Amino acid sequence: MQHIIDRFIKYVKVDTQSDPNNPEFPSTQKQFDLAHMLVEELKEIGMEDVTLDENCYIMATLPSNVDYEVPTIGFVAHIDTSPDFTGTNVKPQLHPNYDGKDIVLNEEENIVLSPDYFEDLLLYKGQTLITTDGTTLLGADDKAGVTEIVSAMEYLIQNPEIKHGKIRICFTPDEEVGKGAHMFDVEKFDAEWAYTMDGSQVGELEYENFNAAGAKVTINGKIVHPGYAKGKLINSMTIAAKFIAALPANEVPEQTTGYEGFFHLHGMNGEVEKTELKYIIRDHDMKLFEERKALFQKVADDLNAELGKDLIEVEIKDQYYNMREKIEPVMHIVDIAEEAMKKLDIKPLIKAIRGGTDGSQLSYKGLPCPNIFAGGHNFHGRYEYVAAEAIQQATDVIVEIAQITAERYNK
């Protein structure tokens, strides 16, 4: 397992943070730093057809080692880390044989990772936890997934007695800014189905996700000297507060779970003359998703009518859709992953993703792509962690999926 730990730590030390404000592809050139490293590593372990294109997509092939036809399957992970929290100068810390107590990430800044707040820590008691020093995110989302795919391919190459069909792998850029599948060449990848290694807790197996949209609200005010403002000044920030208050107060991420959708205000920038609000809108059910978008627009229209002026502008863009529609006709691919986990004594946790993965967009591009756990927790922040044993378990699941797929088609 030390080999896997070393590989993961090597990856997370490379800054690959993506940028939501840059329309270029990839959104940050530093993602190529890890991409070039991975290309060389894949060649070294014996992968074939290793390519890196101008958009920072890495693809490679593990040829079949059986003499009968097996569907080509794929495994996908993303190399970028979230723009929500810094991924520069990551300092991983190892905590062998975790005792179930508080972990002091940074004594100087009094940053503590506690099971009193993060109860899932206790799932990994006795295992080797990998954390940061509390000043950066870790990058287990999704460098744990990258580690697992590379390690599984290496294991299959080193153990040719394990029978498998042709396997394709891909590492994508810009997943964290919603563009990870945009330039993915499904035809070039040439797999019948694939799995993203981008989930959290050990056992997660997901083929449903949110329908998602991003929304920008622009409120235009008018600046006048406050001493002479009566009847003239229009404070865009005050109007913004009314807009926020007009949406359902309990339909926010911190008050919803399971299949419940939400409106999430994640950015706000305002002065008297102009205020911008940035939202994401989410729902698993397409009908409810469309109703949410309509309500969002209606709030703006009603406020404009109340103000007697069109001061509020709304822009809504769909981002991705629930992949369930594309997975259900080929549910055997979920069954294979579930069987793999059970064979490894991992309890499958089949549930809906309260988010999205590259797999949701890839499924709509013709590559059915459910999601499997990568093992990390508390993504996108200073309290992110992963157990080394979880990375090993996910690696084992990939190997088992390859083996089960070959067995199923041996007729």
What does the pLDDT read at residue 410?
A: 83
Q: Which helix (H) or strand (E) holds 371?
A: strand 371-373
What does the pLDDT read at residue 1?
A: 83
What does the pLDDT read at residue 354?
A: 87
Q: How many Cβ atoms are within 10 Å of 252's Cβ, its own excluded? A: 13
CA distance 41 to 355: 31
Q: How far apart are the first and last CA of the chain?
A: 35
- pLDDT per position as a tens digit, 153-182: 999 999 999 999 999 999 999 999 989 999
Instruction: Name the token pair of 329.
Output: 């006709």
Tell me if residue 175 is catalytic: yes
- pLDDT per position as a tens digit, 108-124: 999 999 999 999 999 99
CA distance 139 to 352: 23
The model's pTM is: 0.88
> For residue 220, what are the β-bridge partners?
274
User: Which residues contact residue 67 at a Cβ distance below 8 angstroms, ignoring those fewer than 6 apart?
Assistant: none
- Give 3-state DSSP helix, strand, coil % of the chain, rounded to 5: 35, 25, 40
Which entry of 15, 80, 148, 400 is annotated as an active-site residue? 80
Distances (CA, A) of 131 to 92, 338, 384: 6, 29, 6
Instruction: Name the token pair of 10.
Output: 């090597």
User: Which residues contact residue 25 at a Cβ distance below 8 angstroms, ignoring those fewer than 6 apart?
Assistant: 55, 56, 173, 174, 179, 182, 183
Which entry of 142, 175, 176, 396 is annotated as an active-site residue? 175
- pLDDT per position as a tens digit, 381-400: 999 999 999 999 999 999 99
- All structural domains of the chain: 2-209+322-408 (3.40.630.10), 211-320 (3.30.70.360)
Tell me if residue 80 is catalytic: yes
CA distance 173 to 183: 9
Q: Considering the chain, what percentage of its residues have pLDDT values greater than 90? A: 93
